A and B are shown apart, each in its own frame.
Chain A
Amino acid sequence: MLYTGNYFDGKSSVPRPVSLSITEDNLTLYIEEEGKLINWSLINCNIKSLNSSEKIIVSHGKKTNETLEFKETEFPEIAERLLNRESLLSQSYQILKRYNAFQIFAVGLTIIIGSIYIYTQYLSPWIGTQAIKLIPQNVEVKIGDAIIKNFDIEDANSDMTRYLNEFMTACGYQSDYPIHINYIDDEVVNAFALPGGHIIVHQGLIDIMDCSDQLAGLLGHELAHINQRHSMKTLAQSLSSYMVFSVLTGDVAGASSIFLDQASQMNQLANSRSHEKEADIVGHQYMINNKLDPVGLRDLLVKLQQENSMTFDSVEYNLDRGILEFMRTHPSSEKRIEFLDKQATQIAVDQELNNKLDAIWQKLKS
């Protein structure tokens, strides 16, 4: 028996055994039982089984539904000829047949990990930068205003809040956003910035500081986060990652719920290292511009390290500090200090401004 292929005429499921031969332009099917020859022009042949491991299914024409099914191993040269006519993309799927499971697994894993790396390192930050160009500043301010309501901040008229804002104004940093310093009276050693102008400072962090320069350094750093729109960039990045993730898993509905979580917990989005570094550089520059001693930020980082506490901007609220440190220890803290050391420049400090800040600082500490 020569034939093992089956031909179906598109009108019924009756199998008709055929023998096959192929020429330059044609595929010929010979139905021995009926003594009938069928000629298919290769141009009109479509492989319908690109991913199949054993059987090749070929259809002919758009309206006839005629199909041919045969085992690849029985007519390998015909299979190859047909497959070579397919698009490069289809062939890339077809190549998989030639390798064993382990080879595919090893190569595939490398490719997946590689593309995740490229995505998170290069693509995602780029998307973040592009996406925030579309978000107007006033929307950012509104988002910040909405988020701040979730925090247990002291009233704007409370002494501490007033002193902190007075201090900020005295520093004279520039910003396009309406800046509000908010104060929370608890032990947490932390401070962070929300999009659109809100900075939150905890008493725990003020307790650690021992001079006005450090507070000026902290505020400069946080202001830099705001002016550079870091939270919005982070949000756009994680959003785009979730979009891609949801597409890959087909979980479109899930993505929206994850996103809602994400947006409502924006305070918990830790800034990336590159954002921290940028905020250090920019904040440092603010201090120099305003003739403040730029060593303040560095000193604060050193203090925090000594306290064996976490650096500010790693944010977590209700967790016990011990667990928190374990989870969120900022490994780059040393590098940040090292970096700020290199930046250190001798500048003429504005003594008058310094005295003014010291006076407010005394009120804050009392």
Chain B
Amino acid sequence: MNDNVKNWLSFHGKGGPYFGIVVINFVLTVITFGLYYPWAKARTREYLWNETEFRESRFIFHGTGKEMFKGFVVAYALLIGTYTFYFWMITSTDLTFIASVGFGVLFLIMLFWFIPFAIFSSWRYRVSRTSWRGIYFSFSGRFSEYYKIYLKFFFISFVTFGLGISWFRVALQKYLISHTHIGSLDLGFKGKGEDLFMINFLGLILSYITIGLYIPVFTKNRFNFTVDNTLISDDISTLPLKSHLTGGKMFGIMIGNFFLLLFTLGLAFPFTYMRYMKALFDYVELPEGINYDNIEQDENYYNKATGDELLDIMDIDLDF
């Protein structure tokens, strides 16, 4: 492989094939009363991963429907539990007080345990099921540590009436990213809460003033914040990634997508999604000075990936 291969990611997904996957997934999910969903999710991810390229090699998603089915069952058990609980609540009307206390407890459990657990294990699962050139990604974080950070920053956000939420997000992001490894390479994160706070603060104010015209810039800023603050290191150096995404490019994509969706009553969503993914990934540059052609497999990756199976089952998509 020659040395002038660029260190940029590129995304090759196309609306047509993606729409086809959506259709096959849709039909199979409906005729199996939803049971096919985890397999459908695996197919979608395989496609997204496969269509992302770095130095002429594609990424692979190794997760299977069978694995994700476990998390799916747990999520559904929770859902059905909530339904049952609700029915019990409205039918035992003489127990209103106990019922509302019970509901409150359920809510707190969701907030304080389920959400961080789901975010954590979802990240862990995705990372450990990703490879590039046969080199596995791995994750060395522990839920107990992550959970402490979650509680601490949750408390801070709470007493600051939500102002601390940027620091909250950064702390969680930092933990997840900096415990992620690509074979012998390590990732890190140098973002600061105050920077994200400024992005969010300006974003909210300016989006409001410009009646939404600032939203593409806001989206771009948030994406670039994550990319530009992500570090990659080998034995010798630690260097940041670089996003070349500009507000103008993002604006073009978002306006185009808006009209595409509008004129097709939303049916063009596979096409707009591919456009959006392309916009994000095509402008990410990994630093020069890291030898990507000689990453070594971390022989412990397999242990790391399946060390705590319980944590792997909860793979739920959460926008975070």
Residues of A whose CB lies within 8 Å of any CB of B are 6, 8-15, 17, 48-55, 57, 59, 65-67, 69, 92-93, 96-97, 99-105, 107-109, 111-112, 115, 119, 139, 142-143, 145-147, 149, 239-240, 243-244, 247-248, 250, 252, 255-256, 259-260, 263
User: What is the CA–CA distance of A93 and B47 in the complex, to the nearest angstrom?
Assistant: 10
Of B14, B87, B92, B133, the contact of A13 (CB 8 Å cutoff): B133
Of B15, B19, B30, B47, the contact of A51 (CB 8 Å cutoff): B47
Are the C-beta atoms of A101 and B14 separated by less than 8 Å? yes
Taking CB atoms, residues of chain B closer than 8 Å to A96 are: 16-17, 20-21, 24
Chain A's closest residue to B75 (CB) is A252
Of the candidate stretches B159-167, B170-178, B201-209, B290-298, the one touching chain A is B290-298
Residues of B whose CB lies within 8 Å of any CB of A are 1, 12, 14-17, 19-24, 26-27, 29-31, 33-34, 37, 41, 43, 46-47, 50-51, 53, 56-58, 60, 62, 75-76, 79, 82-83, 86-87, 90-93, 131-136, 183, 267, 271, 292-297, 316-317
**A69 with B58, Cβ < 8 A, contacts A112-B26, A255-B79 known:** yes
Are the C-beta atoms of A13 and B46 separated by less than 8 Å? no
User: What is the CA–CA distance of A248 and B36 in the complex, to the nearest angstrom?
Assistant: 10
Taking CB atoms, residues of chain B closer than 8 Å to A92 are: 24
Closest 5 CB pairs of A and B: A101-B16, A108-B23, A96-B20, A247-B34, A51-B47
Are the C-beta atoms of B37 and A108 separated by less than 8 Å? no
User: What is the CA–CA distance of A93 and B131 in the complex, to the nearest angstrom?
Assistant: 22
Of A6, A105, A243, A259, the contact of B56 (CB 8 Å cutoff): A6
Taking CB atoms, residues of chain A closer than 8 Å to B62 are: 48
User: What is the CA–CA distance of A119 and B34 in the complex, to the nearest angstrom?
Assistant: 13
Chain B's closest residue to A118 (CB) is B30
Taking CB atoms, residues of chain A closer than 8 Å to B79 are: 252, 255-256
**A115 with B26, Cβ < 8 A, contacts A12-B135, A65-B136, A67-B134 known:** yes
Are the C-beta atoms of B58 and A111 separated by less than 8 Å? no
Shortest CB distance B39–A (Å): 8
Are the C-beta atoms of A51 and B43 separated by less than 8 Å? yes
Chain A's closest residue to B297 (CB) is A11
Shortest CB distance B9–A (Å): 15
**A10 with B16, Cβ < 8 A, contacts A92-B24, A145-B93, A248-B37 known:** no
User: What is the CA–CA distance of A69 and B93 in the complex, to the nearest angstrom?
Assistant: 64
Taking CB atoms, residues of chain B closer than 8 Å to A17 are: 1
Shortest CB distance B241–A (Å): 18
User: What is the CA–CA distance of A138 and B58 in the complex, to the nearest angstrom?
Assistant: 59
Are the C-beta atoms of B20 and A59 separated by less than 8 Å? no
Taking CB atoms, residues of chain B closer than 8 Å to A48 are: 46, 50, 60, 62
**A252 with B50, Cβ < 8 A, contacts A108-B22, A115-B30 known:** no
Shortest CB distance B68–A (Å): 11
Shortest CB distance B95–A (Å): 12
User: What is the CA–CA distance of A51 and B295 in the complex, to the nearest angstrom?
Assistant: 26
Taking CB atoms, residues of chain A closer than 8 Å to B47 are: 51-52
Given contacts A48-B62, A52-B58, A107-B23, 15 further A-B contacts (CB under 8 A): A8-B134, A11-B296, A14-B293, A15-B1, A15-B57, A48-B46, A50-B43, A50-B46, A65-B134, A69-B133, A97-B17, A112-B27, A247-B29, A252-B79, A256-B79
Are the C-beta atoms of B60 and A49 separated by less than 8 Å? yes
Are the C-beta atoms of B58 and A55 separated by less than 8 Å? yes
Taking CB atoms, residues of chain A closer than 8 Å to B20 are: 93, 96, 99, 104, 108
Shortest CB distance A249–B (Å): 10
Taking CB atoms, residues of chain A closer than 8 Å to B297 are: 10-12, 65
Of A111, A142, A149, A255, the contact of B27 (CB 8 Å cutoff): A111
